[in-house]
Structure 1
Amino acid sequence: MNVVQAVKFYITKMAEESGPGMKVLLLDKQTTSIISMVYSQSEILQKEVYLFERLDVPGSIEPMKHLKCIVFVRPTKDNVGLLCNEIRNPRYGMYYIYFSNIISKSDIKTIAECDEIEVVREVAEFYGDYLSVSPHLFSLNINGCYQGTQWNPVHLQRSVQGIVSVLLSLKKCPFIRYQSGSDMAKRLADKIREVVTKEEVLFDFRHSEVPPMLLILDRRFDPITPLLTQWTYQAMVHELLTISNNRVNMSHVPGVSKELSEVVLSSEHDEFYAENLYNNYGEIGQTTKELINEFQKKAKSHQKVESIQDMKQFVESYPHFKKMSGTVSKHLMIIGELSNLVGKRNLLEVSEVEQEIACQDQHSHHLQRVRALIGNQKIRNEEAGRLVMLYALKYRRHSSHDISGLVDGLKKRGAPESLYSMVKSVCNFAFQEDTSSSANLVNQEAMVKITKRFFKDLKGVENVYTQHVPALKEVIEDLIRGRLKENVYPFLGNPPAGRRVQDIFVFIVGGITYEESLCVHQLNKSSIHGGARIVAGGTTVHNTESFIDEVSRAMSRGVARSYN
């Protein structure tokens, strides 16, 4: 199961079905992002696509009848209206229309009625209605899906469409389980089953011996993971610099060149990134050094162009050399900025305390350490606030907690109200103790054997713990082993005859994280789980900043509780 290959297959098929000849690709805002996640512009050009236009943005009105137009858009009312305008007054010779999801027959009829001069050659559904972040990870780019602890209706519909698209693109019709205690997980499960039932012909795939499983979770079951500082390359970049549709904005870096003001990080097109995105901070320093050494050797060999044979070799190897030069420049800049931010924000010291709070049960020690860091003016307000949130989530039921005292400490150091008020908000956001799902919240010590792994930062200081394991890992392992409790994760409808699972889809309402993506990657690679294949997704891929924003939006409409 590979969501990147699934979307690539559709794009390739579109180009092939339109036949040979020059083509234009007509997209909307969402499908532009969907395609850019899996294809580079140079790869698209190889398929004779020479022009890219947006259906929702006014473009050239000059007719270009020699071009074939491949349309790939979401099946929205707005897009249908814009498409009708386009084919009433066609700019291109012929149109091949592909919708990224299920479209109603009435909309098809509307388009057909507008095609008065018969320029439309094809109308089909190609189910690429999600962002393929990596082979096992997808996102819907939805921020703010909560209204209190209920769905924003628009985002519910989009989530249903996205998950249905993933299932259809991978040709799976799964049994569905959801997190009890979450009305949002239950409602999403119900809506997906409605679509599967209504579109039973589309979902009539060959039955496998072991039926697929879709498990729907709610971010509220584990608010700890999105609050932790990350130390693997991909997760660090997202945490400190933010990855948006495989792009990282570097324009804020002093002295950055124009071509590096925005860089693309894609494991499909960047070999160094693909090999290192799960490596930790210390390992990245070493592999970058090796990359630079390799580049310097090649650069020296290119300086020796003395014969015709040397010239020939230089010309043949130059594209690779130029690409390598760009790779070196890009990653050197990113890693340099990560190192700068780690030092400037004292993240090694902060992260050590975060990990201890998440994984150990030493209240008085943790309270003392958090107090000390709050009083340290070298620590930013954002990191101080995050430590108090983690402490509050872990110890809000402890008889001797001092959450109020820590919040006062944030006020005294000048933290804005929008930050210290989040301490109460994040506690209200988390599943409460009286729900059956709360066992998965923060009791990491009971869940996993704590192993302290150290790694060196770029200066060789062994002082960062990476012992936290997301709650998601245990949930998936229990599902694979047939131990996932049905009262906590009930089936929608009748359960399958056997307990065994092989193809697993996990969707987290409220967003997934790159740390959880790493867990899924490791489980997929593991040989001890009987060949289970897992695809995970979420309404979005969170870093700390986006998660806190998600909680803030949710709780601004939610019911107030107290952590006292």
Structure 2
Amino acid sequence: MIQSCGPGMKILLMDKETTAVVSTVYAQSEIMEKEVYLCDRLDNISNRESLRHLKCLTFLRPSQENIHLLAMELKSPMYGSYFLHWTNVISKSDVKRLAEADEQEVVREICELFADFIPLSPHCMISSIPVGPVFAEGDLLADGLTHNVASVIISFLLAVKKYPIIRYTEGSMPTQKLADKIHNLINKESNLFDFHGRNASRPVLLILDRRDDSLTPLLNQWTYQAMVHELLTIKNHRVSLANAPGIHKDFREVVLTPDNDTFYANNMYADFGAVGQSLRQLVEEFQAKAKTHQKVESIEDMKSFVENYPHFKQMSGTVSKHVAVVGELARLNEKYHLLEVSELEQELACHSNHSASLQKLKQLLDNNKIRDEDALRLVLLYALRYESHSNNDIVGLVSKLKSRGLSQENIDTVLKLLKFGGAKKRRSDLYGSDPVAVTKRLIKGMQGVENIYTQHTPWMKGIVEDLLKGRLREGAFPTFGMTRSSGASDMYRPSEVIVFILGGVTYAESLAIHNINRAENRLAAVVGGTTIHNMKSFLVEINAFNTKQKSHGNA
């Protein structure tokens, strides 16, 4: 985009969504190195001054609001020339509208650069359009939301030049409706999907329903990236440490991205214990280098110091940043007894031992050192696992939450969760009741687990593995627009899989895809979602679903 307009001083105009995309991928210093001296928002017209000597790059979503604002801008241009770039397909009527507004003929270029998504890693992306709670109308997916999510997926497919076979979750009306919309958009823009080798082995776009696995977003996490998001929340690679006691002002907000942080790239999927060991080694290495920098006695020493100083300064920032982040995680872990909580979480998620689990759960609920949100988390996991058990004590556990002083809104979440993703709602075999799943679990148990806090594997991982092996049942995940008689086959083995979780993905699922790719020794699968969840954001989804369900029913 920057190269297309040649040398010279430039301004980059974005909207709210594209600002998030760009800030996730590039640091502002990197953009400035490309002669982009100003970054601003298109809607900030009252605070922008006319600078006719600048070239203007726009990077915008083709929304009606942006078309309107840009048309106004072109009627009274503030910059010398304009290079218009869109994150998705722009209609001919909108191009005509902009052409009519360009009375001074300042537009030099208009093109589509497909990027209606935020890339979190080489194998994980989320929508750049904030769609909010997805299942607010139960089994109905609002038309506007369907269009926005489909546009995100179309943009991604065009960015990576993939023309997929679409599969969705049987019995899930929202995933079927989304599959239908994507199929229609691909047909509408068929010329854009006319890639070289289009008729070769096609990837599969698999659309999953978040409600089939409400377990994964409820668990505490113990790998570095997922743990940071669960306890501190990552937003566009940024983490706030403002509430951490004694934190230096320079580290109240830190950036965690594997692109320019080698330590994070090497440890983002490591468990917390291994991260601590790696950080200790990094600190020791830094201390050794710091001692050598103290000895500046000759011209050669000075020369060496000046040459190595940028690297030394960068290393100093990396060490300080990760010491701050890991230190805060360790503080929260110790303060809230998260190891003890997580051990029971994993037991509830991976094993069926009702009486023992219930006893441990009651003991933890009586412990006032356990956070209220972890008390709620454990009861939610229990209710999800044992809702159909003849001796379940959901009522008694809810009573214990009341005695802890939890709000009625939080207490109501227990029943709301079962309406959202309980046994009657799920189409998945979440706890492995079928013989094949039981056998898989027994084999895994016999092989042993390296870490009791990371025993759980997201349900999605097995689905993707089955799909790559040509074993994913057509009856459970139909191919859109195809029946068995027209050639649908359980045995189709795609070379690549694109998974999209309607209702949000988690970093635990991103890790699962990373492990699949590592086992395949290639980029065999990518995963996306409407958002990236931790427990807090997932509870917002659950509460919105039940609120709208109730009002819809009353109406």
With normalisation by structure 1, the TM-score equals: 0.92
Aligned in 2, Cα 1:47/1:28: closer, same or farther, shift over 3 Å? same
Change in CA separation of 1:53 and 1:442 when aligned onto 2, cut-off 3 Å: farther
Matched, 1:381 2:372: yes
Match of 1:111 among 98, 118, 123: 98
In 1, Cα distance between equivalents of 2:393 and 2:324: 42
Residues 1:220 and 2:206 aligned together? no
Distance apart, 1:532 and its partner CA: 6.2
Partner of 2:535: 544
State the match for 1:397 in structure 2. 388
Give matches, 1:392-471, under 5 Å: 392-430=383-421, 432-433=423-424, 437-440=427-430, 447-448=440-441, 449-450=444-445, 452-455=448-451, 464-471=452-459
Determine the C-alpha separation between the residues in 2 that align with 1:67 and 1:372: 67
Q: How does 1:297-312 map to 2 (within 5 A)?
A: 297-312=288-303
Residue deviations 1:353-386 (CA, integer Å, cap 9, x gap)? 0000110011111111111111111111111111
Aligned partners of 2:424, 2:54: CA distance in 1, in Å?
Answer: 62
Q: Which moved more, 1:136-145 or 1:188-197?
A: 136-145
Q: Is 1:356 aligned to residue 328 of structure 2?
A: no
The aligned length equals 536
The share of aligned pairs that are identical, in percent, is 47
Question: Closer, same or farther in 2 for the Cα pair 1:434/1:134, shift >3 Å?
Answer: closer
Question: In the aligned structure 2, how far is the partner of 1:496 from the partner of 1:272?
Answer: 46
Tell me the CA shift for residue 143 of structure 1.
Answer: 2.8
Change beyond 3 A, Cα 1:274–1:33 = same
Q: 5+ residue gaps in structure 2?
A: none
**Aligned equivalent of 1:27, options 4, 14, 19:** 14
Superposition deviation, residue 403 in structure 1: 0.7
Question: TM-score, normalised to structure 2's length?
Answer: 0.93
Q: Which residue of 1 aligns with 2:160?
A: 170
CA distance in 2 between partners of 1:263 and 1:137 (Å): 21
Cα drift, residue 47 of structure 1: 1.4
Q: SS of 2:12's equivalent?
A: strand
Matches within 5 A, 1:297-336: 297-336=288-327
> 2:13 aligned with 1:17, yes or no?
no
Structure 1 residues 179 and 441 mapped into 2: Cα distance closer, same or farther (>3 Å)? farther
Match in the other structure for 1:279: 270
**1:242 alignment partner in structure 2:** 233
**Over 6 Å off, 4+ runs:** none
- Residue 313 of structure 1 aligns with an amino acid whose one-letter code is S
CA distance 1:434–1:53, change in 2 (3 Å): closer
**Partner residue, 2:183:** 193
Question: Relative to structure 2, which stretch is displaced further, 37-46 or 55-64?
Answer: 55-64
Q: Which residue of 2 is the match for residue 490 of structure 1? A: 478
1:479 has 2:467 as partner: yes
Q: Quote the RMSD (CA, aligned, Å).
A: 1.7
Counterpart AA for 1:504: V
Q: Which residue of 2 aligns with 1:134?
A: 121
Deviation at 1:442, TM superposition (A): 6.3
CA distance change for structure 1 residues 48 and 422 in 2, over 3 Å: closer, same or farther? same
Unaligned runs of 5+ in 1: 1-13, 456-463
**1:526-541 equivalences in 2 (<5 Å):** 526-527=519-520, 533-541=524-532
Given candidates 143, 147, 152, the residue that maps to 1:157 is 147
**Residue 469 of structure 1 aligns to a residue in which SS?**
coil
Counterparts of 1:300 and 1:434, CA distance in 2 = 62
Partners of 1:418 and 1:62 in 2: how far apart?
Answer: 48
Deviation larger for 491-500 or 133-142: 491-500
**Preserved contact between residue 9 and residue 36 of structure 2 (Cα < 8 Å):** yes
Partner of 1:9: none
- Kept in 2, the 8 Å contact 1:25–1:53? The answer is yes
Contact 2:14 2:60 in 1 (8 A): yes
2:337–2:369 CA contact under 8 A, matched in 1: yes
**Residue 147 of structure 1, aligned match among 127, 132, 136:** 136
CA deviation digits over 1:279-320, x for unaligned, max 9? Answer: 001001100001101111111111111111111111111111
Amino acid corresponding to residue 187 of structure 2 in structure 1: T
Instruction: Determine the structure 2 residue equivalent to 1:11.
Output: none
Shift of 1:153: 3.6
Within 2, Cα distance between the matches of 1:555 and 1:445? 32
SS of alignment partner, residue 266 of structure 1: coil
